Amino acid sequence: MIREAEEQARKDFEDHEKKVREMAEKAAEAEAEAADREKSKLDAEKKRRFEAQEAKRKAGEEEAEAAAAKADEYDEDACAGCGEPIEDDDEDAFDALDRTWHADCFVCQHCKKNLADEKVKAKKGRPYCLKCYGEFFCPLCFGCGKPITDSVLKAVDTTWHKKCFVCAKCGKQITGDFTCTPEGLPICC
Ligand SMILES: [Zn+2]
Ligand SMILES: [Zn+2]
Ligand SMILES: [Zn+2]
Ligand SMILES: [Zn+2]
For residue range 158-187, list pLDDT tens digits in order: 899 999 999 999 999 999 999 988 877 899
Convert the pLDDT of each residue in 56-80 to its tens digit.
999 999 999 999 999 999 999 999 9
Which residue blocks in the chain are alpha helix, DSSP H?
2-72, 130-137
Q: How confident is the model at residue 150 (pLDDT cuts 50, 70, 90)?
A: confident
List the single range of 71-75, 78-82, 124-128, 144-148 with lowest mean pLDDT. 144-148
The domain locations on the chain are 54-137, 139-189
pLDDT for the residue 182: 80
0.75 cut: is pTM over it?
no
Residue-averaged pLDDT of the chain: 92
State the distance from the centre of ligand 2 to the C-alpha of 129, rounded, in angstroms.
4
State the distance from the centre of ligand 2 to the C-alpha of 23, rounded, in angstroms.
59
3-state secondary structure of 101: strand
State the distance from the centre of ligand 1 to the C-alpha of 86, rounded, in angstroms.
7
State the distance from the centre of ligand 4 to the C-alpha of 75, rounded, in angstroms.
60
Mean pLDDT of 96-122: 96
CA 168, CA 129: separation in Å to the nearest integer?
34
Burial of 115 (0-12, 13-18, 19+ CB in 10 A): buried
C-alpha torsion 62→64→69→74, nearest 10 = 160
54-137 under CATH 2.10.110.10, yes or no: yes
Q: Which ligand is nearest to the CA of 158?
A: 3
State the distance from the centre of ligand 4 to the C-alpha of 114, rounded, in angstroms.
45
State the distance from the centre of ligand 2 to the C-alpha of 100, rounded, in angstroms.
20
State the distance from the centre of ligand 3 to the C-alpha of 40, rounded, in angstroms.
22
Residue environment code for 53-81, b if the CB has 16+ CB neighbours within 10 A, otherwise e:
beeebeebeebbeebeeebeebeeebbbb
- CATH no. of 139-189: 2.10.110.10
pLDDT for the residue 46: 85
Beta-carbon count within 10 A of 160 CB: 22
The percentage of residues in the chain with a pLDDT greater than 70, rounded to a whole number, is 99
> What is the C-alpha end-to-end distance of the chain, expressed in Å?
59
